[in-house]
Amino acid sequence: MERKTLIAIAWLAVLSALVFFACAQTEHARKMNQAVDTDQAVVSAQLAEAGTAQQDEHPDVDFNQSCYDCHKEETPEVAEQWHASLHGMVNVGCFVCHGDGTTEFVVQPSTERCIACHSPKEVDYSKTEASSCFSCHNGHTLKFHN
């Protein structure tokens, strides 16, 4: 094989491993998450306090500033929850779940947003007491509720 082809295959293998690692959550990590999770109600209360709980559009802001930079001032606990989560660690931006803030904005994303990236983790809710991903997971920490 040509050297460029081998290098490309190696890079694809490395990228695939990184994606798998970023998306995979071991049983040990799940148990640790259960032990330290905060309640989703706290996040909802923080959003309500910030005035964004029931809005269909994002408040008018300077979109040249990153979501994280703004939210670490406006909703610091929520911003830190995201920053410390697996999504934050691999820099999955807020727009992936919440929209870009200009043409689309979703305060509380639906399970369909999760399934777009995490289809192997899709749950048959008819077999559980849960009704969505957020019945079990905190939306920003991704940890299991206690």
Q: What is the DSSP letter of 9?
A: H
Neighbours of 124 (CB within 10 A): 6
The per-residue b/e assignment along 28-51, b for 16 or more CB within 10 angstroms, e otherwise, is eeeeebeeebeebeebeebbeeee
pLDDT digits (tens, 9 = 90+) for 39-87: 344 444 444 444 444 456 788 888 888 899 999 999 999 999 999 999 9
Minimum mean pLDDT range among 55-59, 86-90, 126-130: 55-59
Q: Would you say the pTM of this structure is higher than 0.75?
A: no
The residues facing 20 across adjacent strands are none
